[in-house]
Amino acid sequence: MNIKFKEVWESYSSSTWKACLRFTNNHHDAEDLMQTTWLKAYISWKKKPKSLTKAYFTAIARNTWIDEIRKRKLSTIPYEDNCQQFGDSTELMTSLNFTHVLNTLVTRLTISQQILFLLSDVCRCSLKEIAFLTNMSVGAVKATLFRARQKIINDVRQNMEADHSVDEEEALRVKLYSQALQNGDIQLLASLLTDNASIPALYVQQQQTYSTLDCKMVA
């Protein structure tokens, strides 16, 4: 991670945590909100450096939580649509910097940690939804997310500025993550954990699916 951003984030992490806790009124949601605030703030700052203040981090946390509350009011929508209400995080999903974040995740987290983190902290799926999508118990989801967040705090953030060399399969995995996030396809994300097919095979299958949909739209 950029030293300047790291130092400023650490200096305001306590006040940002208090803001997250005040907005959410519970520790679990506050932890999720804290992670998302850091991710959005970092990517936004990398794309266009700006003044990093307490108000800046608090505003990101507040706006993110407002989006979350709005999405929870739409909790009856189907699972496959659950990730489409990104609000102001759409820019984050389409940013070139987000590919760098994904490269960092795939080289630092296990596959299950990568996918559960994206489903929970980016797509904002609930623990029960993630358990349903991945055929895991809620307890296993909690444990995996806890380890993922600890790695992000202690490892991923420290290495965000580094160049991460990914192999061919990891590069395809990053492309699939990007497609899933941009298209709100949480089932695709989950399939990358539950499907027995190889990543290259899933990638080819996914491109064929999108090509078919494009042809139908043109027709």
Domains annotated on the chain, with CATH: 1-73 (1.10.1740), 96-219 (no CATH)
The per-residue pLDDT for 93 is 39
Compute the distance between CA of residue 73 and CA of residue 59 in angstroms, rounded to an integer.
21
The per-residue pLDDT for 17 is 93
Per-residue confidence band for 4, with pLDDT thresholds at 50, 70 and 90: confident
Tokens at 50, concatenated: 């700006």
- 179 or 157: which carries more pLDDT confidence? 179
pTM above 0.85, yes or no: no
The per-residue pLDDT for 52 is 87
Per-residue confidence band for 144, with pLDDT thresholds at 50, 70 and 90: very high
The per-residue pLDDT for 214 is 46
- 99 or 190: which carries more pLDDT confidence? 190
Q: Which of 153, 143, 98 is nearest to 120 (CA)?
A: 143
The per-residue pLDDT for 216 is 42
Q: What is the mean pLDDT of residues 51-75?
A: 78
- 70 or 89: which carries more pLDDT confidence? 70
CB atoms within 10 A of CB 64: 23
Q: Are 184 and 84 in contact (CB under 8 A)?
A: yes
| Residue 80 pLDDT greater than 70, yes or no | no
CB within 8 Å of 203: residues ≥ 6 apart: 172, 175, 176
